[in-house]
């Protein structure tokens, strides 16, 4: 039943995705440009009344409203007619919860909406907090809901709006100015982390499914995140008022045009650019992200977390973007929100609830409810396990072994997709992350004309992966900008491989050159059991990612030599 409610919230995203991507999620650059051209034609400046916006959000928020009715016991006031003007005159709207019992001043929590959602997203958690003695303020970021202006993507105008929101809160509610926290999911998480660094009056932040590095999220390893990028751009036009620069910048990434300018724009909006200020202030941070999140992938939040010297906690969960956290929006108790409430109670109310005695880092195992925990990250007791990749035979896959390669050979593949894939965009991710239905393929049947395939012998000891996996090899391509996707599988006795993790990379200016290729696969916690085999596949096409130009035929040779080892390295224990 709980998962059905989650699906109800995720289903509209799937519909938007179909609108954005059509039948083929892996469009080439000209197709992407056409989609963005249509999006740019949307009248983002049209005025929409609050009533119309509320009606358009009714289907998405039905479960939230139902859960709120159960929480609304009369112990707090709920003012749904809040507004203030930002520095540039833009009207920002929101809602305010104030406890009825007690004279105050009360600790306060500010909630920031997710992309494409609005001030009503957090009314259930807000009610729960108000009943516990918090003032809670939720607002529509500019360009969304009934707020004015254009979407600023956590830019300087959003930071100005947040500061004016704190001004409003301190002026109009019985708030303890020394105990103000901020929280949000996705878009709200990024703004929360940036706001914690830049707004001195905010004491702590909870960031759920957010980003540490926006350049890495949008263009990690020089590869645009096609599906999620198109989804965000489309959803922004449908539900908000987009600044045209957003679609323009995404189009530049797809076309590899003026990328440096786009990445500079994204860096300004990245919490990792403000780490020094946050560390100097010593403000505590709780972060929750998800291992199968192909929007804000775990490999971009881990370096941010590692740089923090403040009191901190990280939970890495199974699931795609926001699925581990969205249950709390419906009032469903879960691991993340229990920690979130305890975090605020400790840091804003001084309640000794044990949250700081819990391990700083927990990672949920793939296809399991169990977690591995660590006192810090990187795990000081981690073991690096390196396997060597040997060339393919005429009728056999390449070998994954613990001993070094002793031959000098090359394998050449043609560009193209294979049965190695991340699955159907969004659908496969939801099935994998929410209900542990993995993406599978028979590794023995992956077309080795278009893919490198490697397979180990049966494991005699379990392989406990705890973090990232790194592929390293050497290639020579007939194309100037070859693209690769690397898939890691747990393979059973029949050859069926469960997708455990994957990574991608695009190289530029390498035609005809022997070039080192390094790909970091997404961090996970997974136990390869005794008797299973490690499988690895590398091809050139996946519906999740954009290729740098219209799909063309080219060759990529993978060099295996004694002098330049091809390896698969695991962070393990």
Higher pLDDT, 229 or 535: 535
Share of the chain above pLDDT 70, in %: 87
Q: What is the mean pLDDT of residues 233-259?
A: 92
Give the confidence band of 227 by pLDDT, cuts at 50, 70, 90.
confident
Are the CB atoms for 20 and 230 separated by under 8 Å? yes
- Alpha-carbon distances, residue 57 vs 51, 112, 184, 232, 552 (angstroms): 10, 17, 19, 17, 42
Could you give the CA distance from residue 254 to residue 313 in angstroms, rounded to a whole number? 35
Ranges 476-485, 540-549, 560-569: which has the least confidence = 540-549
In the prediction, which pLDDT does 431 show? 52
> Tens digit of pLDDT for each residue in 364-394?
999 999 999 999 999 888 999 999 999 999 8
Could you give the CA distance from residue 302 to residue 523 in angstroms, rounded to a whole number? 9
Are the CB atoms for 445 and 509 separated by under 8 Å? no
Residues 6+ apart with CB under 8 A from 491: 443, 455, 497, 498, 532, 533, 534, 535
Question: In the numeric block, which tokens belong to residue 345?
Answer: 């109670």
37 pLDDT more than 90? no
Give the confidence band of 231 by pLDDT, cuts at 50, 70, 90.
confident
Question: In the numeric block, which tokens belong to residue 185?
Answer: 């999911």
Could you give the CA distance from residue 114 to residue 121 in angstroms, rounded to a whole number? 8
Quote the mean pLDDT of the chain: 88
In the prediction, which pLDDT does 552 show? 80
Strand-pair partners of 398: 454
> Tens digit of pLDDT for each residue in 415-464?
988 999 988 655 555 555 555 578 999 999 999 999 999 999 999 999 99
Cα Rg of the chain, angstroms: 24
Higher pLDDT, 103 or 165: 165
Distance from the Cα of residue 373 to its chain's centroid:
21
Are the CB atoms for 296 and 217 separated by under 8 Å? yes
Residues 6+ apart with CB under 8 A from 563: none
Strand-pair partners of 98: 77
In the prediction, which pLDDT does 63 show? 82
Higher pLDDT, 233 or 315: 315
Query: Which residue's structure tokens are 């000891």?
Result: 461
56 pLDDT more than 50? no
- Alpha-carbon distances, residue 87 vs 157, 159, 163, 167, 265 (angstroms): 9, 11, 10, 12, 21
Q: What is the mean pLDDT of residues 23-33?
A: 33
Share of the chain above pLDDT 90, in %: 76
In the prediction, which pLDDT does 30 show? 36
Write phi, then psi, for 492 (nearest 5 degrees): -90, -175
Residue 361: Cβ-neighbour burial (10 angstroms; 0-12, 13-18, 19+)? buried
Q: What stretches of 402-553 adopt beta strand conformation (E)? A: 409-414, 440-442, 452-456, 463-477, 483-491, 496-506, 515-528, 533-539
Q: What is the mean pLDDT of residues 327-335?
A: 91
Are the CB atoms for 445 and 495 separated by under 8 Å? yes
Q: What is the mean pLDDT of residues 511-533?
A: 97
Q: What is the mean pLDDT of residues 200-219?
A: 97
43 pLDDT more than 80? no
In the prediction, which pLDDT does 548 show? 81
Write phi, then psi, for 472 (nearest 5 degrees): -135, 130
Neighbours of 479 (CB within 10 A): 19
């Amino acid at each position: 039943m709980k998962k059905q409610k989650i699906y109800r919230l995720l289903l509209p995203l799937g519909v938007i995705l179909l609108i954005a991507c059509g039948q083929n999620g892996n469009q080439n650059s000209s197709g992407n440009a056409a989609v963005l051209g249509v999006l740019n034609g949307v009248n983002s400046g049209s005025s929409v009344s609050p009533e119309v916006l509320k009606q358009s959000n009714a289907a998405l928020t039905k479960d939230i409203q139902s859960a709120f009715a159960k929480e609304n016991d009369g112990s707090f006031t709920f003012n749904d007619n809040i507004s203030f003007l930002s520095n540039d005159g833009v009207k920002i709207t929101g809602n305010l919860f104030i406890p009825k019992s007690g004279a105050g001043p009360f600790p306060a929590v500010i909630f920031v909406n997710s992309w494409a959602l609005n001030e009503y997203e957090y009314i259930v958690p807000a009610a729960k907090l108000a009943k516990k003695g918090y003032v809670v303020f939720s607002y529509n970021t500019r360009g969304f809901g009934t707020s004015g202006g254009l979407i600023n993507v956590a830019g300087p105008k959003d930071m100005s709006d947040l500061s004016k929101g704190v001004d409003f809160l301190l002026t109009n509610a019985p708030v303890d100015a020394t105990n103000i926290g901020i929280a949000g999911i996705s878009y709200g998480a990024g703004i929360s982390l940036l706001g914690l660094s830049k707004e001195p009056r905010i004491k702590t932040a909870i960031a759920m499914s957010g980003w540490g590095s926006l350049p890495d999220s949008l263009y990690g390893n020089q590869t645009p995140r096609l599906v999620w990028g198109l989804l965000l751009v489309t959803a922004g036009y449908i539900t908000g008022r987009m600044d045209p620069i957003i679609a323009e910048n995404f189009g530049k990434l797809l076309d590899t045009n003026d990328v440096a300018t786009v990445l500079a724009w994204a860096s300004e909006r990245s919490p990792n650019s403000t780490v020094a200020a946050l560390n100097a202030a010593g403000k505590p941070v709780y972060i929750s992200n998800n291992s199968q999140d192909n929007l804000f992938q775990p490999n971009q939040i881990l370096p941010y977390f590692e740089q923090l010297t403040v009191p901190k906690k990280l939970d890495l969960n199974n699931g795609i973007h926001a699925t581990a956290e969205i249950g709390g929006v419906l009032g469903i108790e879960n691991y993340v929100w229990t920690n979130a409430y305890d975090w605020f109670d400790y840091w804003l109310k001084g309640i000794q609830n044990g949250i700081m005695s819990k391990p700083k880092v927990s990672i949920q195992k793939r296809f399991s409810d169990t977690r591995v925990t660590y006192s810090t990250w990187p795990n000081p007791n981690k073991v690096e396990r390196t396997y060597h990749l040997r060339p393919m035979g005429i009728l056999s896959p390449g070998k994954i072994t613990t001993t070094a390669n002793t031959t000098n050979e090359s394998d050449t593949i043609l560009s193209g997709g294979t049965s190695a894939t991340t699955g159907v965009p969004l659908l496969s991710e939801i099935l994998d992350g929410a209900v542990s239905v993995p993406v599978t393929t028979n590794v023995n049947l992956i077309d080795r004309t278009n893919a490198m395939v490697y397979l180990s012998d049966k494991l005699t000891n379990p392989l406990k992966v705890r973090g990232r996996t790194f592929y390293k090899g050497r290639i020579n391509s007939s194309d100037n900008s070859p693209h690769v996707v690397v898939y890691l599988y747990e393979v059973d006795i029949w050859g069926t491989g469960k997708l455990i993790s994957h990574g991608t990379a695009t190289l530029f200016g390498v035609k005809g050159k022997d070039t080192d290729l390094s790909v970091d696969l997404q961090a996970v916690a997974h136990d390869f059991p005794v008797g299973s085999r490690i499988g690895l596949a590398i091809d050139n096409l996946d519906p999740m990612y954009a290729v740098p130009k219209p799909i063309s035929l080219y060759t990529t040779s993978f060099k295996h030599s004694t002098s330049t080892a091809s390896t698969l390295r695991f962070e393990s224990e």
